[in-house]
Every structure is written in C-alpha cells, then in structure tokens.
Amino acid sequence: MTFATIIQEEEKEADHERDNRVEEKCGQLQQQKQMKQRQHQKDHRPRPKQQELKPGAFIVIFTTSNQIFSVICNLDVGTASTLINASNAVGNSYSQVVFSLQCLYLLVSPGDLFGALKFETFVYVFSPIVKIVIVAVLILVLEGIVRVINCLKRAKNKAQTRRMDRGERNNEAPIDDTKDTTLTAIVAKDSIPKKPRKKGLTDRFFMRLGAVAVAIFILEQPAIIGKLCQYLTCVQLDPYVPKYYVKSRNNIECYTDEYYFFLTSQWSFQHSSFGHSLSLLSSSLCSIPNGANSLIQKV
Amino acid sequence: MGNFYNPYSQEVYYWGIVIGIFKMSIFILASILVIHAYFQFFKRKPPYEHASLNKAEKFCCLAYMVVLTVVFVRMSVELEWIKKLCEVVVFISIASAGGYVLINVFWLYIMQAWGMLNKFVEKPRNLKEIMTHLANYHETERNNQQKEHAWSNKDYPAAESQLHRRSAIIVDLPAK
C-alpha cells in the first residue's frame, strides 16, 4: 500500500464522517422544525365550537332569580311572597311532610307548642342517620339474597357437572379423555391474564353506604342548617316588651330555661356562654334584613 | 359544581363567583345600587355565549330593579290601592322574567324531543332505502359480470366460491 492510497482512504473516511455529521445535523434540524410546527399548530389551534345550548343554564338563571326575588320580596312582608313560596312547596316537599307530622304530634299532646318544635327539629336533624341505618339494613338484606341465589346456582352447577361426570345423562358416554381436558385447562389458565381481586362484602357495603350517605348529606344539610338557624333566631315582637320569640314560631319564647335546656342538650354545653352568644349572634344577623331566614334556607 | 362555571364563556368563567357576591351584597346592603352595579357589569361583559341566555339574564336584572323599586314604594305609601297596584306590578315583572326563562327551557325540551322523534322515524326509513339501493347495486353487478363471462360458456362463479375478501362498495344515495 502506497502512501498516496493511505491518504486517499483517510480522506474518504473523513468525508464519510463529515457526511454523517451533516446528516445528523439535518435530522436534528428537521426534528426541531417538526416540533416547532407542532407547537405552532397547538398555539394556533382553532377555538372549540360554541357550547350547545342546554336547559340546565336556563334553570340556573331561573333558580338564581327566584332566590333574589325571594330576598327582595321578604323586605316587605306579603309582596308576592305566595308566588315565591309556591316554588318552595314544590321544591322541598320534605317541609310539607314535617308539617303533617307536627299536626300528628299536636293531636297526641295538644298545646305543647315547644314540644312540637323540638319534635320537628329532632326529625330534621336525625332523619339522615335513620335513613342511613335503613339503607344499611336494606343493602345487607339485598347482599344476603344475592349470596343465597349465587350459592343455589353454584350448587346446581356442581350437581350438573357431577351428573355429567358419572355419565348419567341421556345415553351419553362418560368422558374418557380426562387427560386431554386437564392439559387444555392448564394451557388455558396460563394464557388467561390475572383478574383483579374481587371486592369483598365489607368493601362493597361501605362503598355503597358511603355513596348513599354523601347523597343524603348533600340533599338534607341545607334543611338541617336552616331549621337550626330558625330555632336560634329570635325577634322582639313588641319594642316596649323585653321578650324575644322564635322567629319562625312567634308563640314560643326565647331565652327561657326550657329554650336553653333544649339548646344545650342538643349541643352538650349547658349554660355555656357560647350557646347564648351564638343565638344572639344569629338573631342579630338575621334581624337586620328581614329576608335572612329565607336566604339561610336557600343556602 | 359544574353549574358554577360551565354555562359561562371562557372569558367570563368567574361569573358564578360574581353571582354569589351579588346575592350576598343584595342581602347585606338591601340596596338598589347593587343591582344597578351588577347590571352594568353584566352589560360590559355578557357572561353567556348564547344570546338567549344573555337576554334571559338581562330580563331578570330588569325585573330585580323594578321589583326592588316597587317594594320600596309600597313600603313608603299608605294608600291601599297603590299597594295593590305595586303588588300587581311585582307579580307581572316576576312572572314575565320567570316566564321567559321557563318558555326557553320548555322550547329546548320540545326541540330535544322532536330531534329524538325524528331520529326514531328516520332510522328505519334510511335503512330501508339503503337496502333497496344495495339490492339494485348487486343486481346490476351480477348482470354485468354475467355478460362478461358469457363468451366462455362457463357458469358464473358464485360469490361463496370466491375465496378472497370482497372489496368495499359505494352506494350513492339520493341527495336530500
């Protein structure tokens, strides 16, 4: 090999390397260009289409306007309040049921107005717990029924397979090629992907019960808070008489021993300053504009 | 939670919070100025993408203003017939604003029901039309192929005997 051929080969190798480098560079540039194009497309993506008009948006406007109208109308008692309260009667049928329950209570013990109010408050406050307990019992009963049905099905299938094994079916020969079937079963088992672990009875029970509890809480929480606030809200009917009455029931006097007893027995802080201050705070808050109670109920 | 921001346009996604503040301030201040401020803000930045929704909100705002004014008038006047008149005005403004919204809701539901009914009626009709066109297409195809194979005095091979997968076909439906 002469010196000239060695130089030529070296030059060739250098050229080849340079070409490779240029190609690499070009590739990188092209990649960068594509990325830039993609980014540009992303940035200048056409805006999403206009949302479809849905009745939900109108219903939101309607409920909002109803709330505001009820607040405005409560400024002056009697102004179209019947028109606004009609929607309350339709929307919250629970209040009608409680009203009927109160009538029943008054039939049993007539004249006990404070007792009726206590009964109403208890019904409102403890009804979610009672409902959750009923649902828990129902879920357990349903689960039990499903288990019994599954057990029966399994027993039936077992009996059927046993019968088939013995060859007791109509003119059917007993299965001889047991080896083949087991082999196939082994192969099939390997090929089947592992199933996720099935949830147990307790998991399913708590999952369902939790869903029910959340739904009940969301539905009933406003009514409970409204009812408790109504109990705490007191108004002075006569400015010259220093006596306060429950705002929702003007025939029940506030800040009496019985009133405090019920208040403290509910919250377990007998004769604490917090209970008194809470009731005073709520009454002072709600007595500034007259529409407080309705807004609390709505909230 | 979706109702808090879904119905509003992208620019005014926060309108749910504005409504919340509006409700609180109307309750605390009990002033007509709050409603005017809300209405001005609404006019500057209409929160909805659809004109009918904006119109419904506008009617509601106007009704708030009218009702609040009339309520204050009713509180300050002693004459019975003016009080009755105020009640009528309040009733009319609430009913007209609520009525406009409810009419729109009912109209949307009616349109949805109409669309579903149309789909229900159109589906079998379209299927029938497609099937007749498909039958015609196969008939003409078979005739053409029989003509092509006529010279060889051989039976035309049945479709089942052709082992290859049949290629896709296009059937032109008449324009509606």
User: Can you spell out the DSSP letters for B135-165?
Assistant: HHHHHHHHHHHHHHHGGGT-PPPPGGG--SP
The CA–CA distances, whole Å, from B111 to B1, B55, B131 equal 26, 19, 30
Say if the Cβ atoms of A79 and B71 lie within 8 Å. Answer: yes
Q: With a cut of 60, say whether residue A204 has pLDDT above it.
A: yes
- For residues A275 and A269, the answer to whether their CB atoms sit within 8 Å is yes
Q: What is the average pLDDT score of chain A?
A: 72
Say if the Cβ atoms of B64 and A68 lie within 8 Å. Answer: yes
* 3-state percent breakdown (helix, strand, coil) of chain A, nearest 5: 75, 0, 25
B149: phi then psi, degrees, rounded to nearest 5 = -90, 0
- For residues A204 and A143, the answer to whether their CB atoms sit within 8 Å is yes
A67 neighbourhood in chain B, CB within 8 Å: 23
| CA B126, B132, B137, B138 torsion-angle sign | positive
DSSP β-bridge partners for residue A245? A235, A253
How many CB pairs below 8 A link A and B?
103
Q: Is residue A101 part of a domain?
A: yes
- C-alpha B100: how far from its chain's center? 15
In chain B, where the domains are located: 1-49, 51-149
Q: With a cut of 70, say whether residue B67 has pLDDT above it.
A: yes
Position B100 scores a pLDDT of 93
B23 neighbourhood in chain A, CB within 8 Å: 64, 67-68, 71, 295
* Counted domains in chain A: 1
Position A190 scores a pLDDT of 53
| CA A210, A215, A218, A221 torsion-angle sign | negative
Q: With a cut of 50, say whether residue B96 has pLDDT above it.
A: yes
A246: phi then psi, degrees, rounded to nearest 5 = -60, 135
A68 to chain B, closest Cα gap in Å: 7
- For residues B71 and A73, the answer to whether their CB atoms sit within 8 Å is yes
Residue A159 belongs to domain spanning: 93-163+201-298
Helical segments of A233-290, H only: 257-267, 273-287
B128 to chain A, closest Cα gap in Å: 31
Position A141 scores a pLDDT of 93
CB-nearest partner of A65 from B60, B72, B75: B60
Q: With a cut of 50, say whether residue A210 has pLDDT above it.
A: yes
Q: Is residue A194 part of a domain?
A: no
Nearest CA in chain A to B84: A79
The C-alpha angle A55, A59, A64, rounded to 5 degrees, equals 155
Residues 6+ apart with CB under 8 A from A148: none
Position A138 scores a pLDDT of 93
Q: Is residue A181 part of a domain?
A: no
- C-alpha A293: how far from its chain's center? 26
The C-alpha angle B2, B7, B10, rounded to 5 degrees, equals 100
Q: With a cut of 60, say whether residue B154 has pLDDT above it.
A: no
Of A89-98, A173-182, A220-229, B167-176, the one with minimum mean pLDDT is A173-182
First-to-last CA distance in chain A? Answer: 98
Q: How confident is the model at residue A152 (pLDDT cuts 50, 70, 90)?
A: very high
Flag whether residue B97 sits within 8 Å of chain A, measured between CB atoms.
Answer: yes
Residue A299, H or E segment: none
C-alpha dihedral, B154 to B159 to B164 to B166, nearest 10°: 130
Say if the Cβ atoms of A55 and B64 lie within 8 Å. Answer: no
Say if the Cβ atoms of A58 and B67 lie within 8 Å. Answer: no
Higher pLDDT, A83 or A51: A51
| CA B47, B48, B51, B55 torsion-angle sign | negative
ipTM above 0.95, yes or no: no
* Residue at A77: amino acid letter: V
Q: How confident is the model at residue B6 (pLDDT cuts 50, 70, 90)?
A: confident
3-state secondary structure (DSSP) of residue A192: coil
Tokens of A55: 């009745």
Mean pLDDT of A240-253: 83
Q: How confident is the model at residue A173 (pLDDT cuts 50, 70, 90)?
A: low
* Residue at A39: amino acid letter: Q
Mean pLDDT of B135-144: 85
Residues 6+ apart with CB under 8 A from A48: none
Nearest CA in chain B to A54: B108
* CA separation for the pair A168, A160 (Å, rounded): 10
Q: Is residue A68 part of a domain?
A: no
Of A88-97, A148-157, A263-272, B69-78, the one with minimum mean pLDDT is A263-272
Q: With a cut of 90, say whether residue B171 has pLDDT above it.
A: no
Mean pLDDT of A16-44: 72
B75 to chain A, closest Cα gap in Å: 7
Residue A236, H or E segment: strand A234-236
* CA separation for the pair A263, A271 (Å, rounded): 9
A73 neighbourhood in chain B, CB within 8 Å: 67, 71, 90
- C-alpha B50: how far from its chain's center? 10
3-state secondary structure (DSSP) of residue A78: coil
A50 neighbourhood in chain B, CB within 8 Å: 49-50
Position A287 scores a pLDDT of 42
Position A228 scores a pLDDT of 79
B104 to chain A, closest Cα gap in Å: 7
- For residues B50 and A49, the answer to whether their CB atoms sit within 8 Å is no
B169 to chain A, closest Cα gap in Å: 34
Position A285 scores a pLDDT of 42
* CA separation for the pair A207, B4 (Å, rounded): 27
Flag whether residue B74 sits within 8 Å of chain A, measured between CB atoms.
Answer: yes
* CA separation for the pair B76, B81 (Å, rounded): 13
Position B107 scores a pLDDT of 92
